[in-house]
Structure 1
Amino acid sequence: MDRSVFKKLENKTGTKFIANFVLVFILFSTALTFDPIHFKEVFEFPKLLMLFLTVGILTFINILKIALPKKNVQKDKIFKTIRHELFFLIMFFVGHILAFIFSTNKNISLLGTPFRYQGFLSYLYYVLFLLNTIYVFKNNKINIFKWLNVLLFLVCALAISPYLLPYIYPFIYFNPAFFYNRVYGTFGNPNYLASFIIAILPIAIFTWKQSFSNKLIRNANIVMIFLFVITLFLTGSRSAWVASILSFGIFGILKIIKEKDYKILITICIIFSLILIGIEFKKYIAPIVPQIERLKLDTTKSNSIATRKTLWQIGIKMIRNEPFTGYGHDMLQKNINPLLPDNLKSDPTYFIDRTHNELLDIILMHGFLTFIGYIGLISLTWINGIKIYVYEKQKSMMPVLIGITSLNFYHIMNFSSITSNILLFLMIGYIISVKISSAKKIL
């Protein structure tokens, strides 16, 4: 097709606008879609369907754009710039293919089990989503930070809605009483919601810092951040709090070293002081706000720290016996159950199909090849993000790095979900796209 014809077609149909719209719609639809009838049993399934539908549409649009001829597109240079990332991504995906091929139950491993739906097809679409985000961010202008802030506002507003309007449809489906007085919103699980919040919270704070010239926008951002933090607290997710504090602490120290900005050190000290004060006075707050009980490290009701330790020990032992390609997607439950202690087997509140450590889960279910690809891709992305921030002085890279780090710290203490994986690969795609544009300076 002649270049001028393509240009007219692109201007007429607004393919860039459509691609941007579909990318944003992927984020909104997977976060906000839920099934109110079978909510508890399959709360991830509607998100999986939206992932398949929307990523499929975006892939089709971008394939059409790539297939049409363009001038001055140095594809060889682009592939050379991100060849290491592509190497680890291919390794990651080949590992998933092998895990599926050698799975003892391919019917389960294809889509995954209820509550998770992390089957082979979901990872195929995560990889497609990553490649699409790289292409869209590289070629189109899109204010993704703005849309993430709007999305998180809607997510948190819906999550806390039962406190304000407890009997209004459909807020009755979000009642915290269904999940030990912990809010979960359209995610069906408080931990899934918490991981979503800690990934976007750094971006919200960055947006607030950039809005000082406009008082109205600045105040609106303050209200949103307050809403996000309150919702995070009401999820009762300790692992999310730990992950977020560690990430902000690490990058706060790095920023202090780089810029000698000791105001950040004072801010960190104030935050930790408030946390210590809150711990000291938790016994007075607990009768009013039951979620505070979950933030105690010595709680005996759930005893999640001891449970995690037990699951990690079992998972490490299982590595010695599991096949190189893993047990298969979502095939951990039947293999880990015989090794569980009696107290976990007999407790009906426990549904154990993960080790509560994403890295262990990857090795056990998807194999060592997938694990190496995952670690390599994450590590390269993190290093490239640091280089872009230091050498290119792109301040927008800092909140993305904090978001990725928060998600990975969280995954070490928990496990991934459809929405957390979408955010993870979105941020990886963002950093890789910036690297392509900045290749000469950061290689």
Structure 2
Amino acid sequence: MSQSTSPTNHLIDRLILGTILFGLATTPFIYSFSTSELFEFNKMIWVYGLTVALAGLWLIKAVLTRHLTIARTPLDIPLGLFLISQVLATIFSIHPRTSLLGYYTRFNGGLISTFAYTLWYYAIVTHIKKSQIKLVILTLLISSLFASWYAIPEHFSRSFSCVKAGSGFNTLCWSENTNPKYRVFGTFGQPNWLAAYLIMLIPLTIYQIQNSKYKSYLPRLAWIGLLASLIATELFTKSRSGFLGLIIALVVSGLFYLMQYYRARAVRLPVYQIKTHPPNCQTCHQKKTWLTFLVGWSIPLVILLVMLIFGTPFSPSFSGLISSISGQTPVTAPTSFTTEPTEIGGTESGEIRKIVWSGALKVWQRYPWFGSGVETFAYSYYLDRPQAHNLVSEWDFLYNKAHNEFLNYLATTGLIGFLSYLLLLASASWIAIKVYFKSNTTPQAQNGQLAGALLAGLTGLSVTNFFGFSTVTVSLLMFVWLGLISLLAIPPQTPLNPLTKTNIWQQLLVCLCSILMFLGLSQVSRSWHADQDYATATALFKEKHTQATTDLEIEQQNQLAIDTLLKAIQASPSEALYYNKLSEEYSSLALEATQAGQSELTQTLIEASIASSDITLELNPVNLNFYKSRVRVFANLAQIDNKYLEVVRQTLLSAIRLAPTDPKLTYNLAQVKVSMNNLPKALDWYRQTLKLKPDYIQAHLAYALTLEKVGDYAQSWREIEQLELVIGDNPELQALKARLQVESNSQ
């Protein structure tokens, strides 16, 4: 028998609190250049690791106290309904594995991640005391300060990420199209994602300014400095949706502040200072009223000043305004900046969003109750993709989200998931408002102000999510915000009396919990290393012709890449993406072996490529990209043996059934028909392609060439004339016109 376990319980409590604070402080900064996706994947893996640690510590505490404590909260029912909706959407999903884990490269939003965030919610309400909320807020704000300082230098062409990448304190490690000197993104990967994070923290910063102690000006000045830093970073993202979310968050914060001000006037003192001085202290009252006035006006003045200096997505900066007056042209971001396809580009982002949103509604109509499955938008959208999408500049981009969080839930989790999500947000908002209006005494007043700040952050996030989608960090913060709101609403929890002794069974259970926690962390680590191996293999295949100089070196690098990819498959044998990559590389190597005259090796590689491609579609038969990849694989093999053209044809037909409005598929099928010398069918597929996308220049040219082959010179000439109006003088067109003239005269 061991002695008193009180110190052990206290240690477990401190470890749980430390894990929560550590996770909140570090998650925004997690990224790696060694994985296939730099930012979201690493953040998701990090959150999973922290969640496993939290769950393990929680279970150990339950064993020691002989009671699994889970606080009851006002959000239990809404949150429970939301979880049930996600489970049902996963069960009825068109691809349950994707719904369980999330779409590869996005990861956030899968069922497992939702359960992880929910565990964080209950960890907050169960293990955080109300007196520790200030510590949570302080941790969040200090973390946001460093996140801001990390991103701000990018605006001035200085990136800490490039230091990590080895190119120095510059932005040269990023391509021109994704360079953060145009739109900063810090450790978040995309400007909109950083903007959404900042929106949630800015109202908390305002709350901290309002509740700083009056004894010294320094704390308040420090918080005002943080506010200016966060606002500046928000503006440097140049995110329009982020700016709209910021304005709404500030309006909500302002409304709560005004209500606080008028309620305070009713008792002649700031609500949170009622007990500081006696009611008849006129001098104190005048001093505090004046300071309250200054505090109230310092916030909007700082915000407006920062906006005037640096500009907004809808107005120029001060320097830009001066430049325009003096006739100089300020430096702007290139129109091809691609960190967010629906935010910028040739076609106005609003037009693109409307098309994607209409497609999302069609997906919902196809799967009205439970949706196509959690995180399956990348699969289901293309079956109902509007033909109008072919006429925008980003017509061939992959859309794995609806770029509207609400429509994304509607499309992928159906009406059940959509309504449960709205219920969760509405319930949290109602609870926050109730907490605010119930604040009558001094300590409760600050609770009300905090509830208002949390609600402002959630409201701002909802606005940005209306034009985009949530990511790992803001999803985690959203559930933490829900937890803090619930914590403010529930009475203090009565701590359990610790047991004085533990028996052998408890000690064994503690060991078992520790082993399970270790196994969970090992699995999380295994998933991360599998992706790292996949990324390494991909890089090796790309670099073999640039870094390897001899045939032997190329062969060695090929073998190393294959071995590394097989290692990833061994770690994650159900991941179709890894088999897909393996199939592509085997087909390329088979083509190289044929050119080198290695017939036996060629046959081995062909068989391996086909087997890997078959496994890919067995694991995921609804991912359009895998069908396109299979087309490339068998197109390579068809250069070795024409019999594989038939497989290309069949694969394209299968892909067209998944994406009937994709003109690239019909165009490629027409090309295959040309290769199979079935020119009449090829012309039919070219016409179908041009019907789907009338401005498809490649298809017009191929159509004209095929018309020439079948002897329809007049129609071919008309196609050329139409092309000349679009692309002007072109050597290939001139050569075709010359041939047509000769062939027409010969008739």
Normalising by structure 2, what TM-score?
0.52
Q: Secondary structure of the residue that 1:398 maps to in structure 2?
A: helix
Alignment partner of 1:168 out of 163, 178, 184: 163
Q: 1:239-265 CA distances to partner (integer Å, 9 max, x unpaired)? A: 111012112213423543563389769
- Please list every run of 5 or more consecutive structure 2 residues that lacks an aligned counterpart in the other structure: 266-291, 338-342, 440-444, 494-747
Give the letter aligned to residue 140 of structure 2: L
Q: Using the alignment, how far apart are the partners of 2:219 and 2:432 within structure 1?
A: 28
> Which residue of the partner structure matches residue 23 of structure 2?
26
User: In the aligned structure 2, how far is the partner of 1:192 from the partner of 1:49?
Assistant: 18
Letter matched to residue 322 of structure 1 = Y
**Which residues of 2 match residues 36-435 of structure 1 at below 5 A?**
36-38=33-35, 41-69=37-65, 79=72, 82=73, 85-117=75-107, 118-138=109-129, 141-142=132-133, 143-162=135-154, 163=156, 165-166=158-159, 168-170=163-165, 175=174, 177=176, 179=178, 181-211=182-212, 212-257=214-259, 259-260=261-262, 281=316, 284=321, 287-288=329-330, 290=332, 301=346, 303-338=348-383, 339-340=385-386, 341-343=388-390, 347=394, 350-392=397-439, 393=445, 394=447, 395-435=449-489
Measure the CA separation in 2 of the matches of 1:332 and 1:69.
45
Deviation larger for 249-258 or 17-26: 249-258
User: Which residue identity lines up with residue 399 of structure 1 in the other structure?
Assistant: A
Deviations 1:378-430 (A, max 9, x none): 21111111111121222222221211111112212211111111010000001
Separation (CA, whole Å) in 2 of partners of 1:48 and 1:268 = 36
Counterparts of 1:240 and 1:357, CA distance in 2:
13
The structural deviation recorded for 1:125 is 0.9
Whichever residue aligns with residue 388 of structure 1, its letter is: V
* Partner AA of 2:236 in structure 1: L
SS in structure 2 of the partner of residue 186 of structure 1 = coil
Instruction: Please say if residues 95 and 368 of structure 1, whose CA atoms lie closer than 8 Å, have aligned partners that are also in contact.
Output: no
Separation in structure 1 between the aligned mates of residue 452 and residue 399 of structure 2, nearest angstrom: 36
Report the equivalent of 2:742.
none
Q: Distance in 2 between matches of 1:214 and 1:349?
A: 58
Give the number of equivalent residue pairs: 426
Task: Say whether the 8 Å CA contact 1:34–1:46 is kept in structure 2.
Answer: yes
Letter in structure 1 aligned against 2:413: H
**Alpha-carbon distance in structure 2 between the residues aligned to 1:207 and 1:22:** 23
Question: In the alignment, is the contact (CA less than 8 A) between 1:153 and 1:224 conserved in 2?
Answer: yes
Contact 1:91–1:373, Cα closer than 8 Å, also in 2: yes
Structure 1, gaps ≥5 residues long? none
| Secondary structure class of the residue paired with 2:164 | coil
Say if 1:35 and 1:266 are closer, same or farther in 2 by CA, change over 3 A: closer
Distance 1:129 1:273, change over 3 A: closer
Question: 8 Å contact 2:451–2:488 — kept in the other structure?
Answer: no
Q: 1:57: how far off?
A: 0.7
| Cα displacement (A) at 1:371 | 2.3
After superposition, give the CA deviation of every residue in 1:195-237 in whole Å (9 maximum; x if it has no partner).
1111011112222333353333333323322221111111111
Counterpart AA for 2:258: I
- Cα deviation, 1:284-320, whole Å, max 9, x if unaligned, reads 36844636999xxx98745112222222233223322
Q: Distance in 2 between matches of 1:401 and 1:354?
A: 25
Determine the C-alpha separation between the residues in 2 that align with 1:276 and 1:306. Answer: 29
Report which stretch shifted further, 187-196 or 267-276.
Answer: 267-276
User: What does the per-residue CA deviation read over 1:304-337, in whole Å, with 9 as the maximum and x for residues that have no partner?
Assistant: 1222222223322332222421111221122223
Change beyond 3 A, Cα 1:256–1:141: closer
Amino acid at match of 1:416: S
Q: Return 56-65 or 274-283, whichever deviates more.
A: 274-283
Counterpart Cα distance in 1 of 2:69 and 2:146 = 40
Tell me, in whole angstroms, the C-alpha distance in 2 between the residues paired with 1:403 and 1:292. 31
2:687 matched to which residue of 1?
Answer: none
Which structure is higher in RCO with an 8 Å CA cutoff and minimum separation 6?
Answer: 1
Note the C-alpha offset of 1:149.
0.9
Distance in 2 of aligned mates of 1:229 and 1:273: 10
2:352 and 2:389 in contact (8 A); partners too: no
Measure the CA separation in 1 of the matches of 2:306 and 2:42. 39
Q: For residues 141 and 271 of structure 1, do their structure 2 counterparts lie closer, same or farther at Cα, with a shift above 3 Å needed?
A: closer
Q: Distance in 1 between matches of 2:400 and 2:16?
A: 37
Relative to structure 1, the CA distance from residue 325 to residue 300 in structure 2 (aligned partners, 3 Å threshold; closer, same or farther) is closer
User: Retained in 1: the 8 A contact 2:121–2:479?
Assistant: yes
Q: Give 1:10's aligned residue.
A: 9
Root-mean-square deviation (CA, aligned residues, Å) is 3.6
Choose 18-27 or 179-188, whichever is displaced more: 179-188
1:86-117 deviations in whole A, cap 9, x for unaligned? 12211111111111111122232222223310
- Secondary structure at the counterpart of residue 5 of structure 2: helix
CA 1:349–1:209: 2 relative to 1, 3 Å = farther
Letter in 1 for 2:6: K
Deviation for aligned residue 1:5: 2.7
Alpha-carbon distance change, 235 to 346 in structure 1, aligned in 2, over 3 angstroms: closer
| Identity over aligned pairs, percent | 23
Task: Report the secondary structure of 2:83's partner residue.
Answer: helix
